[in-house]
Amino acid sequence: MHAQQLKEANKKRQQDLKNDTDKLFQLATELKAAVDKTNENMLSLEVVRKADEVEKLAKRVREKMKETVGTAPSIEPPPPPRPQYPR
């Protein structure tokens, strides 16, 4: 039963990640459109607010990606072998 709960938690986390990345894409697209409307002499408050939203959501996505529930397989490669020196 415990394995089933872990599987469900990871499934929910994955769905949350998908939803958040969809929202992040939408916000980034809106940010680009807002920046395209500005020029070198004008920076709107909307652009700054949108950039803050993108940053906060990106951080949340990054943290959520680190939150694997249960045990995950290690993706780190093994260390290289140590050289053998003659004595």
- Structure tokens given for 78: 């093994």
- In sequence order, what are the beta bridge partners of 42? 39
Given this model, what pLDDT does residue 40 score? Answer: 78
- In sequence order, what are the beta bridge partners of 39? 42
Q: Which domain holds residue 34?
A: 2-66
**Residue 33, domain member (yes or no):** yes
- pTM (2 decimals)? 0.65
pLDDT band at residue 82 under the 50/70/90 scheme: confident
3-state SS assignment for residue 2: helix
Higher-confidence residue of 54 and 76: namely: 54
Given this model, what pLDDT does residue 1 score? Answer: 61
Q: What share of the chain is helix, strand, coil (3-state, %, to 5)?
A: 65, 0, 30
The Cα–Cα gap between 65 and 80 comes to 27
Domain count, the chain: 1
**Residue 86, domain member (yes or no):** no
pLDDT per position as a tens digit, 22-66? 999 999 999 999 888 888 777 788 888 999 999 999 999 999 888
**For range 58-86, the mean pLDDT:** 76
